[in-house]
Amino acid sequence: MNLQISGHHVEVTPAIREYVENKLVPVISHFERVTGVSVILSVDKLKQKAEVTVHVPGKELFVETDADDLYAAIDGLFDKLDRQVQKHKQKVQDHHRGSKPHAHVEA
């Protein structure tokens, strides 16, 4: 898996990088076929913004969030991403189970 963490108007310190990586591990463990992750951290005046794009086969999951604190933005980002990854995983599993038998309704 490729992991790219970049910052716009903010320096990505080793502490921030480690925090993002630690938050990412449980999310990615739900879906083992992740090919790449791109995280962008930015500062816009008083708002701290975090974005992530997760590349999985056939789809890209994108989430963004902002907060007053960068760490709070990262926390919110990975909460949202976790929900999206689980939702995508459920869709893929349901899709591959095959067609369900249709019930006949006779009038």
Q: In this structure, what are the phi and psi dihedrals at residue 90, rounded to the nearest 5 degrees?
A: -65, -40
pLDDT in tens, 89-107: 888 777 665 555 555 555 5
Q: What is the mean pLDDT of residues 7-32?
A: 88
What residue numbers bound the domain in which 24 lies? 2-96
Q: In this structure, what are the phi and psi dihedrals at residue 53, rounded to the nearest 5 degrees?
A: -125, 125
Q: What is the mean pLDDT of residues 53-80?
A: 91
Number of domains in the chain: 1
Q: What is the pLDDT of residue 105?
A: 55
Q: What percentage of the chain has pLDDT greater than the value 70?
A: 88
Q: In this structure, what are the phi and psi dihedrals at residue 55, rounded to the nearest 5 degrees?
A: -95, 120
What distances in angstroms separate CA 17 from CA 11, 12, 67, 100, one per listed residue? 10, 6, 18, 45
CATH number of the structural domain spanning residue 69:
3.30.160.100
Residue 43 lies in a domain: yes
- Residue 30 in this model has a pLDDT that exceeds 80: no
Q: What is the pLDDT of residue 92?
A: 76
